[in-house]
Amino acid sequence: MWKFIKNIPKYIWLTLRYMRETFWNLLMIFFIVSMIGSISSSNQIEPKQSALLLNITGTIVDKPVPENPLEIWFAEMMGEDTSIRRENSIFELVEKIKQAKSDTRITGLIISLSKFYGSNSANLQTLGAAIEDFKESKKPVIAFADSLTQQDYYLASFADEIHIAPYGSVDIHGFATSNLYFKSLLDTLGVNTHVFRVGTYKSAVEPYLRDDMSPEAREMTNRFLTGLWDNYLETVSNNRHFLKKEEFFTDSNSLITELKANNGNMAKLAYEKKWVDSLSDRSQIENTLDFKFGITDKENSSNYISIYDYTLNNTLETLASKPNIAVITIDGPIVDGFNGPGYAGADTISEQISEARRDPDIKGLILRVNSPGGSVTAAEVIHAELEAFKLAGKPIVASFGGLAASGGYWVATPANYIVANENTLTGSIGIFGVIPTIENSLAKVGVFSNSVATTEFGSGTVTEALPDALKQMIQLNIEYGYQRFIGLVSASRHMSFERVDAIAQGQVWIAKDALKHKLIDEIGNFDIALEKMKSLTEINQLTLKWYKKEPTFFESIMLQMNAAVDSKLSSYIPESLMPYVKSLSQYEALLSQTTPSVGGAKVFVLCETCSDNAF
């Protein structure tokens, strides 16, 4: 026994040494894998008279998380299909298609979406517009798949030909969105949720107050979903040469009748409705591609180069010039502090804006916004820095992605000009705060809380009922925040306070309605924002500087490990529940990163309804 006790320090030392060696071995593996990855990525394939294969793997986003070989290594060790986690920059994809249009080595475009896992409707429209522009080169565009989801079909509809398998389908079902409501659960648990808000349509707090959607929220949601659905049908019906969108998709009952007439054969139905051009198995599609684009000499396969092997070329003008326009992206919920995976940190964004303002070579800023909003204090930090940028005599053009709502719109108010995609959801001008207390929950199990405070304001705690004076203070602060929000919009958009209030109240608007209400200046893509910046700066040759915060070495390691574990866990969650899980994870980050305001309440300018899960 004494011998064992005497050896305890030895065992501890051996354990520590083993942990240290393991750690440094992991670091060495990281360096080796990273080096191999960087070398392999630099060895791009040069196209030789071939088609460009748009084989998008993963999702399309505004600001992708940098792909790291260690992340791939960990994920593959855990048996994960890493393709689902790949994030593609919408801007890089568009630039490659633009280049391919005039590249004499590229003979056509092939769209293959078997491993495409979606994007927001604004990015899909932007990519579709790039494909439509490519077609002006008179090079053929062919799309093929076993089956096509609703998002897949949107992109495929821009092709000259669409081919699906005889056993496949085209899943067009319309748009929908749903929320979970848990007032009854909170009542059962004895949780008192104290909600403070301004805005009749500010529905983010409804899950705490109701067990169903309010009539106002239902009316608003139906309005913008109908707008998105009309845009979808208008685009795909035009692409497929239907005279009216009603001819492309009538109604659910008619579709069921037609499906019955085809004995439930979805592929045959799609062909008869002229949604697709042929029902072809994989060997037949290979023959079509071989005929259109030829066969490679070495591999005896269809002649194409993947979008991932096709490199962008820097022009002589770009190589010779310094960046003169900053591009800063606000992607995800806006939180206090620094950027993290899935959210935009006010400190990171404000530092980037400040750096651009102090750079004498930077003459203007394009603010790319794809955010449902977030923390009021975070939005104010970013807003103040943008005002300073503007006061320095440098113009700001805001480019809206899929979402620019609530706090996402707040931060854009200093912009000289606002451009939104036709599928952008914006507005949601409102504000709210939430404080839950659990005094009733504790009482159910015989636990009670008493406190002593010098004022009523100091006695607010989660374990006791909120004092009336504290509730009044918080509500007054929320009302001040709303007045502040309305005032910012009124001043920046040159509208009366009353007019802004009439279109505010938390209402969400699709781009065409936002334009009508003068919340934006123009409907268009990122290219339109660039053209406007040329006009404001009187610079014909814009050279962009994309501001990105790269994670530190140790942050990168932890992010990769966490991502691999989280992704493996997500594989056990039903796909139908993933939108809720994703939403909850974003709210967890938002709540944990938000600094409490008056009375301990966390105050938000957030549009919870504006989820693009509808697609």
Q: What is the DSSP string of 379-447?
A: HHHHHHHHHHHHHTT--EEEEEEEEEETHHHHTTTT-SEEEE-TT-EEE---EEEEEEE-HHHHHHTT-
pLDDT of residue 590: 55
pLDDT digits (tens, 9 = 90+) for 70-110: 555 555 555 555 555 688 999 999 999 999 999 999 999 99
Rounded Cα gap, residues 52 and 137, in angstroms: 13
Q: List 364's β-bridge partners, or say none.
A: 325
pLDDT of residue 45: 55
Residue 190 corresponds to which tokens in the numbers above?
A: 């004895």
- Give 486's contacts (C-beta < 8 A, 6+ positions apart): 429, 497, 500, 501, 504
Rounded Cα gap, residues 502 and 480, in angstroms: 17
Q: Using the 8-state DSSP alphabet, how is residue 577 labeled?
A: G
Rounded Cα gap, residues 206 and 210, in angstroms: 6
pLDDT of residue 67: 61
Known catalytic residues are 202, 406
Measured CA to CA in angstroms, residue 357 lies from 323, 327, 353, 387 at distances of 13, 12, 6, 10
Query: Considering only CA atoms, which of 380, 398, 379 is closest in space to residue 326?
Result: 398
* Contact between residue 54 and residue 109 where contact means Cβ atoms under 8 Å apart: yes
Give pLDDT < 50 ranges for the chain: 4, 34-43, 316-317, 564-569, 572-573, 576-578, 580-581, 613
pTM for the model: 0.85
Rounded Cα gap, residues 580 and 569, in angstroms: 15
Residue 173 corresponds to which tokens in the numbers above?
A: 């079902």
Residue 540 corresponds to which tokens in the numbers above?
A: 């014909």
For the chain, the distance separating the N- and C-terminal CA atoms, rounded to the nearest angstrom, is 68
Rounded Cα gap, residues 437 and 462, in angstroms: 4
The mean of the pLDDT values for the chain is: 85
Query: Considering only CA atoms, which of 469, 464, 401, 402 is closest in space to residue 435?
Result: 464
pLDDT digits (tens, 9 = 90+) for 458-510: 766 888 888 888 889 989 999 999 999 999 999 999 999 999 999 999 999 99
Q: Using the 8-state DSSP alphabet, how is residue 325 labeled?
A: E
Distance of CA 38 to the CA centre of its chain: 27
Measured CA to CA in angstroms, residue 278 lies from 51, 116, 344 at distances of 21, 21, 45
* Contact between residue 595 and residue 377 where contact means Cβ atoms under 8 Å apart: yes
Burial status of residue 36 (CB atoms within 10 A of its CB: 0-12, 13-18, 19 or more): exposed
* Contact between residue 228 and residue 614 where contact means Cβ atoms under 8 Å apart: yes
Rounded Cα gap, residues 343 and 348, in angstroms: 11
* Contact between residue 371 and residue 404 where contact means Cβ atoms under 8 Å apart: yes
Report helix, strand or coil for 229. Answer: helix
Contacts 24+ apart (CB under 8 A), 441-446: 441/189, 441/190, 441/191, 442/190, 443/190, 444/190
Type of residue at 329:
T
pLDDT digits (tens, 9 = 90+) for 99-133: 999 999 999 999 999 999 999 999 999 999 999 99
* Contact between residue 373 and residue 334 where contact means Cβ atoms under 8 Å apart: yes
Q: Give the angle subtended at the CA of 290 by the CAs of 287 and 292, to the nearest 5°.
A: 110
Q: Using the 8-state DSSP alphabet, how is residue 170 labeled?
A: B
Q: Please state, as a whole number, how many other Cβ atoms lie within 10 Å of the Cβ of residue 120.
A: 27
Radius of gyration of the chain (CA): 27
